[in-house]
Amino acid sequence: MCGIVAYIGKKEAYPIVVKGLKRLEYRGYDSAGVALLDQGTINLYKRQGKVANLEAFTEGKNINGHAGIGHTRWATHGLPNDVNAHPHTSTDGKIALIHNGIIENYGPLKEELMSRGYEFKSETDTEVLVHLIDDIQKNENVSIAEAVRLALHSVVGAYAIVVLSKENPNQLVAARKSSPLVVGIGKDGDFFLASDATPIIEYTKRVVYLEDEEIAVVDLNDGLKIFNIGNQEVTPYVQQLEMQLEALEKGGYEHFMMKEIYEQPRSITDCFRGRMNAAEGWVTLGGIKEYEQKIINAPRIIMIACGTSWHACLVGEYLIEDLARINVEVEYASEFRYRNPIINENDVILAVSQSGETADTMAALELAKSKGATILGICNVVGSSISRITDAGSYTHAGPEIGVASTKAFTAQVTVLTLMALSLAHKKGSISETKFHTLLTELEAIPEKVQRILEKNTHIESIASVYKDATNALYLGRGSSFPVALEGALKLKEISYIHAEGYPAAEMKHGPIALIDEEMPVFVIATKGTSYEKVVSNIQEVKARKGKIIAIVTEGDTQVRDLADHIIEIPETDEHLVPLLATIPLQLLSYHIAVMRNCNVDQPRNLAKSVTVE
């Protein structure tokens, strides 16, 4: 959580930093602030709320400076108010600092600094860092970069920081540990720093992703220098960004979420392009190819993730167990890391993460790595922390996802997991050639079928208008449609603030059925397949209690049509691939309900897209 951005060069820093903050707002929007160095003075502008509030506050003010740092906050320590907003400054105002992460030992550090006369203005953990750096610089008489390096030796926790010092007007100092930080090398000798590449892309494609415990000094005279925390110089590894600027804009849609829902025919195609060919009968995931035999031999695959990505793992569990006959366990990363799990060297740990930065998922991977297990990743963000610490992995290639509620990243994750299950099953020989070909052919047809579902948007919107005022909702599914139900419920609660729960359809009678009355919408995935008749019985049970049924059914279905209050038809496909289709109408339903309730669809309250705190 929290987005940081900084600029130093010949241009005016403020517009660049503010534009960058807007791109990073998905990381948190409790407050926003900037510090600019102008003619030897650091000027600070901070406001509670979104970047738009900061812009309103600065409107008409003469804000100048060739060096600036900015921050958009997701509050951890201290209320989301103006005072706790970043940047934070040293007592004499000579140093300003922005931070993403958590300083876990801020308590003792603060006490010590207070005992030596430092006064704290905010309730944040971050403020200790700026005083600590200031203290070291004064007492040790060292450069600002060296003071940062020494200060970080005393810090326990996660950080990506950028420091602006008025005594070094040509320099910014940055460092990271467990929180991401990218350096952009500009075309005019200027530099950019940001939590991800999105604020940088329109100025330069040359970037360096900092590694853990590295300190970067960008200097208008001396260029970029990187040191590790032990003070050894490291050669920067400059990468070329492949992201396109259009991917970061709404492209005519009212919300990023809608744009991203509509991008799914393309994002699913991008995900399997070059990885399979139904006519030629092959599938390959280049990134993990050399680990496939190891996965097949593994006693089990443990999949770890959070949020929507965890739901994708549940779909993956059904696919890999059923097709490749390999034992799979799915774990919440946050639970896994703290319950002293049994991990053996032969286990394969597969982390799934859109951002590739989720703190719990990272920590769970590090734990597994320390026990000698093979660690693999499925990430969307190229160059992200998880993609870099894993032994191997596959990118989802869904393109940047800006809406906080995940949509296209989920279907891309499920697509990669489907490819993985097919590839493993084929190599292992646990799937017949006929089934293998059928599934490849069906998978290739999915984007076009998703498109056909998107064309039902008006019908789905009209159903949404019936249930927009609901206070509770239930989502039911069986088999791999159970995680789809979980994901449908999560989407609704995230963006519309309606309480919603996903359940395996048969479990309904062990509790949730008590909640059903004529006010309760029950969304059921009732597509043709193994459990169809059972789900029909569950629908009958809901109807007997006067619940309202909104059913996702296979095209041409008549049985559920007669029972349900509303149906949404989806094209027929192999049962294994239903999650890729059944998810789409649930995304659209949540979207429309949230819009009708005047909710902020792209930036729901209290949430952030990249959860870099545990």
Residues classed as catalytic: 2, 609
Q: Which is nearer to ligand G6P, 84 or 384 (CB)?
A: 384
Name the residue nearer to ligand G6P (CB basis): 90 or 390.
390
SS3 for 476? Answer: strand
Q: Which is nearer to ligand G6P, 309 or 394 (CB)?
A: 309
Tell me the closest approach of the beta carbon of residue 74 to ligand G6P, in angstroms: 11
Shortest Å, Cβ 362 to ligand G6P: 9
The helix/strand/coil state of 379 is strand
**Residue whose structure tokens are 């603060």:** 110
Specify the stretch interacting with ligand G6P by CB under 6 A; choose among 2-10, 121-129, 302-310, 511-519: 302-310
Contacts of 387 (CB under 8 A, 6+ apart): 356, 377, 379, 381, 393, 395
What is the torsion angle, in degrees rounded to the nearest 10, for the CA atoms of residue 313, residue 314, residue 320 and residue 322?
A: -170
Closest Cα to residue 166, out of 87, 73, 55?
Answer: 87
Q: Which regions of 391-515 does DSSP assign to beta strands (E)?
A: 392-395, 472-477, 499-504
Cβ closest to ligand G6P, residue 309 vs residue 481 = 309
Exactly one of 178, 308, 538, 573 binds ligand G6P (CB under 6 A); which one?
308
Q: Under rule CB under 6 A, which residues in 383-422 are in contact with ligand G6P?
A: 404, 406
What is the rounded distance in angstroms from the CA atom of residue 408 to the CA atom of residue 414? 10
Site residues for ligand G6P, window 435-454 (CB under 6 A)? none
Q: How is residue 575 written in tokens?
A: 């049962």
Element containing residue 548 per DSSP (H, E) = strand 548-554
C-beta closer to ligand G6P: residue 134 or 196: 196
Q: How many residues bind ligand G6P (CB under 6 A)?
A: 14
Shortest approach of ligand G6P to residue 416 CB, angstroms? 13
Q: Which of 199, 250, 164 is nearest to 17 (CA)?
A: 199
Report the distance separating Cα 2 and Cα 171, nearest Å.
23
Binders of ligand G6P among residues 344 to 363 (CB under 6 A) are: 353-355, 358, 361
How far apart, in whole angstroms, are the C-alpha atoms of residue 201 and residue 220? Answer: 20
Q: Which is nearer to ligand G6P, 218 or 404 (CB)?
A: 404
Residue 607 is a binding residue for ligand G6P (CB under 6 A): yes
Only one of the segments 209-217, 279-287, 303-311, 469-477 lies at the binding site for ligand G6P (rule: CB under 6 A); that segment is 303-311
Least distance from ligand G6P to the Cβ atom of residue 607, Å: 5
Alpha carbon distance 76, 363 (integer Å): 19
Residue number with CB closer to ligand G6P (535 or 611): 611
Stretch that binds ligand G6P, among 269-277, 304-312, 529-537, 574-582 (CB under 6 A): 304-312
Q: What is the DSSP letter of 178?
A: B
Q: How far is the CB of 357 from ligand G6P (least distance, A)?
A: 6
Q: Is the CB of 306 or the CB of 424 nearer to ligand G6P?
A: 306
Q: Does 180 bind ligand G6P (CB under 6 A)?
A: no
Count CB atoms within 10 A of the CB of residue 92: 9
> Residue 480, interface with ligand G6P (CB under 6 A)?
no
Q: Is 477:505 a contact under the CB 8 Å cutoff?
A: yes
Under 8 Å CB-to-CB from 362, ≥6 apart: which residues? 178, 385, 386, 389
* Amino acid symbol at 173: V
**Distance of closest approach, residue 261 Cβ to ligand G6P, in angstroms:** 14
Please provide the DSSP assignment of 267-331 as one string.
HHHHHHTTTEETTTTEE--GGGGGGHHHHHHSS-EEEEE-HHHHHHHHHHHHHIIIII---EEEE
Taking the complex as a whole, the smallest distance from the CB of residue 92 to ligand G6P amounts, in Å, to 39
Is the Cβ of residue 538 or residue 610 nearer to ligand G6P in the bound state? 610
Question: Which whole-number Å values give the CA distances from 531 to 414, 479, 552, 557, in the listed order?
Answer: 21, 8, 14, 15
Residue among 308 and 527 whose Cβ is closer to ligand G6P: 308
**Binding window for ligand G6P (CB under 6 A); candidates: 267-275, 286-294, 300-308, 586-594:** 300-308
Give whole-number Cα distances, 304 to 177, 234, 316, 369, 386, in Å: 21, 32, 11, 13, 12
Among 100, 309, 527, 583, the residue binding ligand G6P under the rule CB under 6 A is 309
Burial 155-192 (b: 16+ CB within 10 A, else e): bebbbbbbbbbbebbebbbbbbbbbbbbbbbbeeebbb
Verify binding: residue 47, ligand G6P, rule CB under 6 A: no
Taking the complex as a whole, the smallest distance from the CB of residue 610 to ligand G6P amounts, in Å, to: 6
Task: Rule CB under 6 A: choose which of 583, 611, 612, 613 binds ligand G6P.
Answer: 611
| Subset of residues 24 to 43 that bind ligand G6P, contact rule: CB under 6 A | none
Computed from CA positions of residues 462, 464, 468, 474, in that sequence, does the dihedral angle turn out positive or negative? positive
As a whole number of Å, the end-to-end CA separation of the chain is 10
- Report the residue number whose CB is nearest to ligand G6P: 307
Which one of residues 306, 524, 535, 567 is an interface residue with ligand G6P (CB under 6 A)?
306
Q: How far is the CB of 27 from ligand G6P (least distance, A)?
A: 10
Interface positions with ligand G6P (CB under 6 A)? 306-309, 353-355, 358, 361, 404, 406, 607, 609, 611
